[in-house]
Amino acid sequence: MSVSVKIELGYEFEVRAKFEEVFAVLSDVPRSVSHFPKVDRLTDLGDGVYKLEMKKVGTEQVNIQTVYASKYVSDRNLGTVTWTPVQGVGNALVGGSWKITDTKGRSTNCVLNVEGTVDVPLPGLMKPVVKPVVENEFEKAIEKYIDNLIKEFGGEV
């Protein structure tokens, strides 16, 4: 028995770095993921597919570890990096996209959307307790990831 928690997050920010620099980082999965907190292991499964294993969060007795794989595709001309969930790997399905836009050559606008489902192996009656914990952990991780990227790109405009 497990509890499924749906995640949907969206962020927009503008950084001082040029489009080329931002796109180079965000389209290079290992480099981009290196800015993400609490990653235990990133495994290249080939053909643009990467498996992410997050560090366990919680207590010794009750903890959650999110594991998932996504297929990444980048398109420099469109300024996009997208990832789609890969079925059958881990306990989560995570997809999303970056939309990266040059703003007159001096800065770059970044739009991040993430959506997914995390399955936690606990009884259904635990959902009222587990759901906010999973949502909060996911949101904190994404916000720290964005903060780390903003530092990498010289700050926000």
Dump pLDDT digits (tens) for 32-83.
999 999 999 999 999 999 999 999 887 776 678 899 999 999 999 999 999 9
Q: Check if the beta carbon of residue 31 is closer than 8 Å to that of residue 21.
A: no
46/53 Cα distance (integer angstroms): 16
| 133 assigned to some structural domain | yes
Q: 6: pLDDT confidence band, cut at 50, 70 and 90?
A: very high
Q: What is the pTM of this model?
A: 0.94
| 157 assigned to some structural domain | no
Q: 157: pLDDT confidence band, cut at 50, 70 and 90?
A: very high
| 50 assigned to some structural domain | yes
| 84 assigned to some structural domain | yes
| 76 assigned to some structural domain | yes
DSSP per residue over 105-151, as a string? TTEEEEEEEEEEEEEESS-GGGHHHHHHHHHHHHHHHHHHHHHHHHH
Dump pLDDT digits (tens) for 85-135.
999 999 999 999 999 999 987 899 999 999 999 998 888 888 888 888 889
Three-class secondary structure of residue 157 per DSSP: coil
Give the domain extent around 99.
3-152
Total of domains in the chain: 1
Per-residue confidence (pLDDT) for residue 34, from 0 to 100 = 98
Per-residue confidence (pLDDT) for residue 62, from 0 to 100 = 67
140/138 Cα distance (integer angstroms): 6
| 127 assigned to some structural domain | yes
CATH number of the domain where residue 83 is located: 3.30.530.20
